[in-house]
Amino acid sequence: MRLLLSGFEPFGGSDRNPSRDLVETLLGEPMPGVDLQTIVLPVETETAPARLLDAWRSHGSDTIVMLGEAAGRTAITPEVVAINLRDFEIPDNAGRTIAHRPVVEDGPAAHFSTLPIASITDAIRSRGVPSVRSLTAGTYLCNELMYRVLHEIAITGRRTRAGFIHVPRLPEQCTGSGHPAPSMSLASMAVGIRAAIETLRDTAREPG
């Protein structure tokens, strides 16, 4: 399996992003049967999708897994669908705020993940890490990235599996505020995402 794994830089005033940390961690842990390429993307509308699509074309990946941080979540959450809407609650890292605009003009209302969501969530849970499917990727950069990648795959007719997985914040990001917030250790997240990748590798080998 030729896998392209992406994460995001920190944003929203934080100096950490678990998706970036996961990409760096997993790059140092080779998996049999996985040709892994990683990329850490800027939290900037337009720029992030363009860089990921360029990496996909260069690498010839047959599977794309996009990772991102979701504050407030208590589990690793594979996303089912991306919607054609950009509606930012906070500016991106370039200072841009976009409200009530489509990701792609005249694009379909939504694109669905082509990853085996049920198998991935089951595999993560089997390793003792909480995981549930999610029906909303939000309306910020995570949703935009997922939508643009799936849209490009759809219009080009490439047989590439792709989808987005959100992870909770790190405990280090949730201290000091005086208000308890959900988090998960990087070690647990790495176990979960590794289980997801192994599932993708094994399902890619299945006939049909």
Active site residue 79: yes
Strand partners, 83: 110
Q: Report the 10 Å Cβ neighbour count for 207.
A: 3
Contact 139, 85 (CB under 8 A): yes
Residue of 144, 152, 166, 198 marked catalytic: 166
**Phi, psi for residue 186 in degrees, rounded to 5:** -60, -35
Amino acid at 28: G
- Is 174 one of the annotated active-site residues of the chain? no
Marked catalytic residue, from 79, 144, 152, 198: 79
Catalytic entry in 142, 144, 151, 198: 142
Taking alpha carbons only, the member of 6, 29, 28 closest to residue 19 is 6
24 is annotated as an active-site residue: no
- 135/154 Cα distance (integer angstroms): 20
Please count the other Cβ atoms lying within 10 Å of the Cβ belonging to residue 152: 19
User: Any idea which residues carry the catalytic annotation?
Assistant: 79, 142, 166
